[in-house]
Amino acid sequence: MTKTIFEKTQSEQHAYSLPAEAPEFQNYYPPAHLLREEPLQLPEVSELDLLRHFTSLSKKNMGIDTNFYPLGSCTMKLNPRINEVSAALPGFTRTHPLAPEETVQGNLELIDELIKTLCHICGMTAGTLTPNAGAQGEFVGIRMIASYHKHNKDTGRTEILIPDNAHGTNPATAKMAGFTTVSIRTNAQGDMDLDDLRAHVSEKTAGLMLTNPNTLGLFSPVITEIARIVHEHGGLLYYDGANLNPMLNIVRPGDMGFDVMHLNLHKTFSTPHGGGGPGSGPVLCNDKLKIFLPTPRIEKSNDAYSITWNDPNSIGHISTFHGNFAIYLRAYLYTKLHGHFGLRRIAEMAVLNANYLKAKLSDIFTIPFPQHCMHEFVVQADNYLNEGIRALDFAKRLLDYGIHAPTVYFPLIIKECMLIEPTESESKATLDTFIQTLHTIVHEIRTNPDIVKEAPHTLPVTRLDEVRANKTPILNALKADSSLQFSPSI
């Protein structure tokens, strides 16, 4: 295990400190009244050891910048550096959300233009960029559906229909927004079972939440029929736009029949991806729902932009000020740099890469749905169960080969599944290395299964007791129980 910086302390060793009394460094120090009276007990290490400690920690992180990261359902695509540089321009970073409108016309124009571009791509008419993540976007969209029915005095609509392959945030959102969830079965082709939908849709249906392609990576050829059934019963359709990447400028959710949707800018539009943030989950809708959009809203009249902070029909504020401005600034640049046909090409390449992998892995894994996939696909590692090997073991062994594991055991309805999403950013050489690595692991299972069962061997933390790690997580390394297994060599 990596020693903590405190364990590395050697007395009389010091890194460099700025001379506190020198006037040119005063700006780097907090004012005296904010400082502790007693000096802080900091570890004593040389500057070089300090540098090595932090550099070594930084290298332990596996990310899209360092490794292939085919984590299905959590798109890990290139974040173009030009967008980072542009988002850091002082003209943007130095604006304040409470600055007078007339001084931030450029920022407001950017917000307005991005909403219009996203609406154009998705076939919607209005939107907001304020939610900070996809899940928060879902909450906004479902609250807007609730407001719509309330506005129409249609108060008996208490249920949201959700397919059994849905991402966990969908039912969580519906519950948080005060609805009961009703699960709709997936059929043998991996699509929504229309008979099950017909059996559950009713005058109690407020709406249906759906992602298309679904979480199995399959596009529903009956989507317009699904929309017709739900609308016929007075419900609305919510599009979970987490899987928009393969649809870009090919098919529009609005044309499929959806009324409201979110986008995960940190997926499709290449902005940095974090654990729930910093993200941006814009919500777009059609004319039926636009009066319920959150505030603040940007409006344009006589060539000037203004901000509306309150509207009695609105569901209200959902985030501080305008949300994560620096994130959607990056997405704005992404749409501008690629243009209409560039975005379409992104979708096509994402689909091509996924289908290439799927075809090349079909000799070692069960492929539950043989039809072409969209940007991601599921395979099953169930034919190795007799050797005591599960999907989890493949995931762990891949880490030893410097590849981030695909999503495992999601969607929940597929046994021993791995959900693989290469994205359009990856080269054929990288995809071939991934294919070759999985074949190598299969060879290891035949010749030396323990090396797979006990993986990973090369990471700071080796095989964990997954159940214990989930039930009693230790989130503070200093309190870590010594019974956890750490690789002594690192």
Ligand X SMILES: Cc1ncc(COP(=O)(O)O)c(C=O)c1O
Interacting residue with ligand X among 134, 213, 246, 294 (CB under 6 A) = 134
Interacting residue with ligand X among 169, 205, 220, 335 (CB under 6 A) = 169
Interacting residue with ligand X among 135, 343, 392, 420 (CB under 6 A) = 135
Interacting residue with ligand X among 160, 242, 248, 357 (CB under 6 A) = 242
**H-helix or E-strand spanning residue 299:** strand 297-301
Give the count of residues interacting with ligand X (CB under 6 A).
16
Residues within window 399-428 making contact with ligand X, judged by CB under 6 A: none
d(C-alpha 113, C-alpha 342), whole Å:
18
Does 211 participate in binding ligand X (rule CB under 6 A)?
yes
Interacting residue with ligand X among 79, 147, 249, 264 (CB under 6 A) = 264
Does 323 participate in binding ligand X (rule CB under 6 A)?
no
- Give the x/- contact pattern for ligand X in 268-307, rule: CB under 6 A: --------x--x-x--------------------------
Contact (CB, 8 A) for 127 and 170: no
Does 140 participate in binding ligand X (rule CB under 6 A)?
no
State the burial class of residue 185 (Cβ atoms within 10 Å of its Cβ: 0-12, 13-18, 19+): middle
Does 326 participate in binding ligand X (rule CB under 6 A)?
no
Interacting residue with ligand X among 50, 74, 350, 357 (CB under 6 A) = 74
Does 245 participate in binding ligand X (rule CB under 6 A)?
no
Contact (CB, 8 A) for 229 and 246: no
Token digits of residue 298: 């940007």
* Region near ligand X per CB under 6 A, out of 20-28, 235-243, 348-356, 382-390: 235-243
Handedness of CA 346, 347, 352, 353 (dihedral sign): positive
Does 208 participate in binding ligand X (rule CB under 6 A)?
no
Burial per residue of 354-381, b for 16 or more beta-carbon CB atoms within 10 angstroms, e otherwise = bbebbebbeebbebbbeeebbbbbbbbb
Give the CA distances from residue 25 to residues 19, 46, 269, in Å, rounded to whole numbers and listed in that order: 7, 22, 40
Q: Which residue is nearest to ligand X (CB)?
A: 134
Query: Closest Cα to residue 393, out of 347, 441, 351?
Result: 441
Task: Name the residue nearer to ligand X (CB basis): 139 or 332.
Answer: 139
Does 191 participate in binding ligand X (rule CB under 6 A)?
no
Strands (E), 76-153: 126-128
d(C-alpha 354, C-alpha 350), whole Å:
6
Token digits of residue 282: 């814009």
Task: Name the residue nearer to ligand X (CB basis): 279 or 294.
Answer: 279
The residue ranges that bind ligand X (CB under 6 A) are: 73-74, 133-135, 167, 169, 211, 215, 240, 242-243, 264, 276, 279, 281
